[in-house]
Amino acid sequence: MIDVSFKIETRGLTLAFGDRVIQRDVALRIRPGSIFALMGGSGCGKSTVMKGLFGLLRPIAGTVLIDGESYWDASDDRRIEINRRYGVLFQSAALWSSLTVAENVALPLKLFTRQKPAAIADLVRLKLALVGMEAAADLMPSELSGGMRKRAGLARALALDPEVLFFDEPSAGLDPITSRRLDDLILELRGGLGTTIVLVSHELPSLFAIADDGAFLDAETQTVIASGSPTELRDHCAHPTVQAFMHRERTSESRTPIMQSNGGDADGS
């Protein structure tokens, strides 16, 4: 029987590059509308597992279920349909440098829908408004700060109203205040649109602030060694690798409150 209590579920998922296995027997249960973090030390395979979830890397074993349907057993056409329900934001935001912000956001709509140009322009304005980037519509990616680039990438990832958003290191390279604003935006998206969000991150302040569930991947054993929210893992998981990760640089990583909010980004956006 199909179990749809989870938006995405993996069973025995094993990912490899050539004959080098990166993670094996990974079991994840990602609830609809949750913000689920893939955690773990550098190089343990977080991005690799995420690629296995959204279709960029075919597992050598195991199953990925989306709404109870097996992704990797589906036909190529069916996988393309499923992928239209996904939004993906890579670490670099990966904007097309020769297109304006608005053209970048319009691209998936032009490629994957039959909407008329005027309707696409309306949707682009809407998506840019969602991430507070209306004023930057005509700028080129090279004219954007790091925080603005992330938000433009997010607007593009939202173009097709995804049910699941995949983020690779959303706050990497951002200053703490810009990073916090991006976290707030992610929380708003989940709250407003009910989007399920899967993210890879080692930024502890961001993980504690937004993720409500997660799995900890271990490089040594090459599998999941703990499951739960970052806070639960910090407070209740005795595994030394998890504890070392959760308590590293504790004082410098602790979040200081923003004393004043002027509605703009610290990065000048």
Ligand X SMILES: Nc1ncnc2c1ncn2[C@@H]1O[C@H](COP(=O)(O)OP(=O)(O)OP(=O)(O)O)[C@@H](O)[C@H]1O
Closest approach, Cβ 92 to ligand X, in A, equals 12
Alpha-carbon distance 245 to 259, whole Å? 28
Closest approach, Cβ 172 to ligand X, in A, equals 9
Six-digit token pair at 140? 């080129």
Q: Which amino acid is at 169?
A: E
Q: Out of 46, 127, 149, 190, which residue is the one contacting ligand X (CB under 6 A)? A: 46
Alpha-carbon distance 48 to 23, whole Å? 8
Closest approach, Cβ 153 to ligand X, in A, equals 17
State yes or no: residue 112 binds ligand X (CB under 6 A): no
User: 3-state DSSP: the chain helix, strand, coil percent, rounded to 5?
Assistant: 40, 20, 40
- Residue 87 neighbours by CB under 8 Å, 6+ apart: 157, 158, 159, 160, 162, 164, 165, 166, 195
Nearest to ligand X of 39, 102 (CB atom)? 39
Nearest to ligand X of 92, 115 (CB atom)? 92
Q: Out of 5, 19, 42, 261, which residue is the one contacting ligand X (CB under 6 A)? A: 42
State yes or no: residue 35 binds ligand X (CB under 6 A): no
> How many chain residues bind ligand X (CB under 6 A)?
12
* Phi, psi at 30, each rounded to 5°: -105, 110
State yes or no: residue 16 binds ligand X (CB under 6 A): no
Q: Out of 10, 34, 47, 229, which residue is the one contacting ligand X (CB under 6 A)? A: 47
- Residue 94 neighbours by CB under 8 Å, 6+ apart: 153
Alpha-carbon distance 62 to 99, whole Å? 39
State yes or no: residue 44 binds ligand X (CB under 6 A): yes
Nearest to ligand X of 47, 100 (CB atom)? 47
Query: Which of the 8 DSSP states describes residue 255?
Result: P
CB-based contact 173:161 (threshold 8 Å): no
Closest approach, Cβ 42 to ligand X, in A, equals 4
Binding string, 48-87, against ligand X, x = CB under 6 A? x---------------------------------------
Nearest to 187 by CA among 60, 10, 35, 81: 35
Q: Out of 10, 29, 45, 148, which residue is the one contacting ligand X (CB under 6 A)? A: 45
State yes or no: residue 39 binds ligand X (CB under 6 A): no
Alpha-carbon distance 126 to 136, whole Å? 13
State yes or no: residue 120 binds ligand X (CB under 6 A): no
Alpha-carbon distance 25 to 4, whole Å? 21
Nearest to ligand X of 35, 105 (CB atom)? 35
Nearest to ligand X of 64, 131 (CB atom)? 64
Nearest to ligand X of 42, 261 (CB atom)? 42
Owner of token pair 């097996």 = 70
Residues 185-204 that bind ligand X (CB under 6 A): 200, 202
Binding residues for ligand X (CB under 6 A)? 17, 22, 40, 42-48, 200, 202
